Amino acid sequence: MKKKIIIIGAGGHAKSIIDVIEKTKKFKILFLIDKYEGNINSYKVLRSNKNILHYKKYTKNIVIGIGQIKEYKIRKKIFDKFKKNGYNFPIIKSPMAYISRQAIISEGTIVMHQALINANAKIGKNCIINTKALIEHDVEVGDNCHVSTNVILNGSCKINKNTFIGSGSIIFNNVNVSSGKVIPAGSIIKRGV
């Protein structure tokens, strides 16, 4: 039986999440929550209710459908607020991604289509591992990070919390990226930043 889930946010990232969730066949999307009412594909978008406990009557399972470019605080605030009020943030993994059995992925993280996460990689809470991202062996990604499309994180590098890594960037082996950094698209990072 599929678990029920609600998506917070109804923009472009939410559309990609819908596709991943549908492909997993593990969850039934009840509706999306945003600042407006309407529809995305065949799903209703409901105007957000200030009383977040209101949604518990439907399910405790939440996924954040708001993307993260430059700014992690919105996703973190939503995660912390709903978590404090007893909601669950399942790990969502595309069946079209490869994830090593030795990798560790924390709650609230979504792994998009064709991402590859190798042995002993550790991914924190509330992260986006976007389409075709490659995370090599022994990489650590902190909480609230967005590893964007076609990023390559080479072996044993460390991406500290609240970091955004833009599309097509390459981080070399053993590089340490400090918390809260924004790495522009197409960057090649050979030493710590």
Whether 146 is in a domain gets the answer no
Domain membership of residue 140 (yes or no) is: no
Q: Give the single-character DSSP code of 178.
A: P
Band the pLDDT of 37: cuts 50, 70, 90: very high
- Residue 43: which domain range? 3-84
Domain count, the chain: 1
Q: Does the residue 32 lie in any domain? A: yes
Sheet order of strands, 38-40 included: 38-40, 43-47, 27-34, 3-8, 62-64
Residue 51 is predicted with a pLDDT of: 83
CA 2 → CA 105, 121, 160, 164, distances in Å?
Answer: 21, 28, 34, 32
pLDDT band at 152, cuts 50/70/90? very high
What whole-number distance in Å separates Cα of residue 136 and Cα of residue 46? 39
pLDDT tens profile 46-101: 998 778 888 999 999 999 999 987 789 999 999 999 999 999 999 999 999 999 99
Question: Would you say residue 182 lies in a domain?
Answer: no
The confidence score (pLDDT) of residue 68 equals 86
pLDDT at residue 23, as a whole number: 97
Question: Can you give the C-alpha Rg of the chain in angstroms?
Answer: 16
E strand or H helix at 12? helix 12-24
Q: Considering the domain boundaries, does residue 52 fall inside one?
A: yes
* Predicted local distance difference test score (pLDDT) of residue 182: 95
Checking if the pLDDT of 125 tops 80, the result is yes
Average pLDDT over residues 162-176: 97
CA distance 120 to 192: 21
Residue for token pair 């522009």: 184
76 in a structural domain: yes
CATH of the domain at 69: 3.40.50.720
Q: How confident is the model at residue 167 (pLDDT cuts 50, 70, 90)?
A: very high
Report the residue count for the chain. 193
Question: Is the residue at 103 inside a domain?
Answer: no
Please say if the pLDDT value at position 176 is more than 80. Answer: yes
CA–CA distances in Å: residue 177 to residues 41, 43, 74, 133, 143: 38, 38, 21, 17, 13
pLDDT of residue 49: 79
Query: Quick check: is 156 in a domain?
Result: no
